[in-house]
Amino acid sequence: MNATSIWIGVGVNVLIAGYLGEKKQDEANTTVTHGLLLAFGVGALLNLLSLLIMKPYFGAFTNNEEIYQLSLAYMSVCSFMQIPNMVHIAIQKMIQATGNMIAPMWFQIAGVVVNFVFDPLLIFGIGVFPAMGIRGAAVATVAGYLLSMILAFALLLGKKQKVRIKIKEFHIQKRMIARIFALGLPSFIMNALSSFMVTFVNLFLVAYSDTAIAFFGAYFKVQQLIVMTVNGLIQGCLPIMRFNYGAGNRDRLHSAFR
């Protein structure tokens, strides 16, 4: 599902950077509005899909009834993070397309901090907070994503932003939606492949034990730290290259590529 949010986010990012390079401000703003509509719409669909498939999905990976019930309890709440996740990543990519890489990092960090702080409070019931167990961890996760989305909107609506939400004379353009999906498709495939790999490996590991699945999950998280470093470099290059391509500045484009 993160792969889907990256799909829309990267598509919007590349398209906006290109329009800004071509000095087509109206088209860039139109892309922002399309990106937000797609983020809300696809997020709602993923929310519904998560609720529909969670029972057969978790049932395929464990025969332990306790783990199965805990997984359902967690996912039944976390399903509702899909819209905040989609929207905040879409806005993150929109702002990065203008060359601002720092501000989007901070609203994402804020969400992580909220998640980190509220996890123990809601899991164990510290102070005035109720002891919610695994559901508390899920609530903390959703709260973190909600905060990231709110801060992202606040940043996007700020006066100093180079792109804005276009409402006046806006109409949905099928061609622009198709371009967003087409430009983001390679990133979606690359991210989705790793998810499919984990799914298939877990299907084999379930024949051994739940511990084997947990160990592989921990290993994969560590591996992702390396992958994220590479993704960060790629994300830094994308708006620079697309902007200069749109502006017709081939020398700077080749310099960024090298």
Helix, strand, or coil (residue 95):
helix
Residue type, 241: M
Tokens linked to 116: 């980190």
Q: Where are the domains of the chain?
A: 2-107+162-257
**Mean pLDDT within 2-28:** 89
Phi and psi angles of residue 25, each rounded to the nearest 5 degrees, phi first: -65, -40
Residue 137 CB-half CA count within 13 A: 8
SS3 of 135-179: HHHHHHHHHHHHHHHHHHHHHHCCCCCCCCCCCCCCCCCHHHHHH
Determine the Cα–Cα distance for residues 199 and 206; give it in Å rounded to an integer. 11
Q: Is the pLDDT of residue 245 over 70?
A: no
Determine the Cα–Cα distance for residues 238 and 10; give it in Å rounded to an integer. 9
Q: Which of 129-133, 174-178, 220-224 has the lowest mean pLDDT?
A: 220-224
Q: Is the pLDDT of residue 108 over 80?
A: yes
pTM for the predicted model, two decimal places: 0.83
**Mean pLDDT within 61-83:** 89
| pLDDT for residue 115 | 95
Determine the Cα–Cα distance for residues 17 and 21; give it in Å rounded to an integer. 6
Kindly report the length of the chain.
Answer: 258
Phi and psi angles of residue 132, each rounded to the nearest 5 degrees, phi first: -110, -5
Determine the Cα–Cα distance for residues 10 and 244; give it in Å rounded to an integer. 17
